[in-house]
Amino acid sequence: MQEKLTKGIFFGFVGNILFVAFGLICVLYYYTYNSESIFSKVLEFIAYMTEFMGFGLLVYADYLLIVSLRLRRMLKVCFSAYIVLEAVMMILELNAYNFSFYEPYSLPLAIVHAVVSAAACFAFLQLDPENTKYEVAIVACIALILAGMLGNILGIRVYFSIITNALGFVVLFGAIHYLRNREEIEIDCYGDRANVAVFNSSTLFRDPEVKGGLRLDGGEKDDDSEKNDSEE
């Protein structure tokens, strides 16, 4: 299961990079938009392909996290909700002029988007809630996500929030990968074996104060005890 977790982290990282690419393509798309231009149509096609690939990788990453992580129900639910929200908003963003109910410059929309995404990021704290370095990565991710609301104040469409959200999760998954490689974070999965003390005839009657040739009280084993151990 640890291998599945590793793949889930990797695909989550790559999927969010594709979401960042989608947002940047949207920037170019709207600044060069021309309904009669072939260039605009090509950009729209690339944007959809990037979106679908990113969505597919995140769905697969979400599946791997669900089947590999032990417990952590809140994390699984929140991350799944985040993926669905991002997919819906990306589709609406490219078709904003065709849906009267969708307001790409709406402040409430930007706030809801940021709050849901920040909640999903915060849920990842369940992986290791007592790791200071990991907590710093979570805070950095949430800060980026909340900064996405500034785009609405500056009069930028909601794709600015999509970019900052994806950047935040890129930082998050990158930090998880980095900390796991350095063995500074431990994430338990289904099937992991717990460390269990094993007792047998040779350990059951051994002096509990003796360990590895040194007594736990600071003294060394005497010669008689070493001779008895060798005879046993």
Q: Would you kindly state where each structural domain of the chain is located, as residue ranges?
A: 2-181, 201-231
pLDDT of res. 58: 92
The 10 Å CB-count burial string (b at 16+, else e) for 28-53 is: ebbeeeeeeeeebeebbeebeebbeb
Closest alpha carbon to 176 in 138, 230, 222: 138
- The whole-model pTM stands at 0.74
pLDDT of res. 216: 40
CB 84 within 8 Å of CB 111: no
pLDDT of res. 11: 94
pLDDT of res. 69: 87
Residues (pLDDT < 50) of the chain are 194-201, 203-223, 225-232
pLDDT of res. 95: 67
CB 142 within 8 Å of CB 118: yes
